[in-house]
Amino acid sequence: MAPPTEARTMLLCDDDLPFRAALGAAFTRRGWTVHLAGSGEEALAIAAHVALERAVIDLRMPTMSGLDLLRELLRQQPGMHVVVLTGYGSIPTAIEAVKRGAINYLTKPAEPAEIDAAFDEHADDEEPGPAGVTVPSLDRAQWEHLQRVLADTQGNISEAARRLGMHRRSLQRKLQKLPPKR
pLDDT of residue 1: 37
Please indicate, yes or no, whether residues 32 and 80 belong to a single structural domain of this protein.
yes
Question: In degrees rounded to 5, what are phi and psi of residue 89?
Answer: -75, 150
pLDDT of residue 122: 61
CATH assignment at residue 160: 1.10.10.60
In a domain, 3, yes or no: no
CA 63 from centre of chain:
16
Please indicate, yes or no, whether residues 86 and 165 belong to a single structural domain of this protein.
no
Average pLDDT of the segment spanning 34-63: 90
In a domain, 31, yes or no: yes
By residue range, what is the domain housing residue 158? 138-176
CATH assignment at residue 45: 3.40.50.2300
Average pLDDT of the segment spanning 65-93: 85
Please indicate, yes or no, whether residues 15 and 83 belong to a single structural domain of this protein.
yes
Number of domains composing the chain: 2
Please indicate, yes or no, whether residues 92 and 125 belong to a single structural domain of this protein.
yes
pLDDT of residue 162: 92
pLDDT tens digits along 164-178: 899 989 888 887 776
Torsion angle (degrees, nearest 10) of CA 165, 66, 96, 154:
0
Q: Which of 138, 54, 122, 130 lies closest to 97, judged by CA?
A: 130
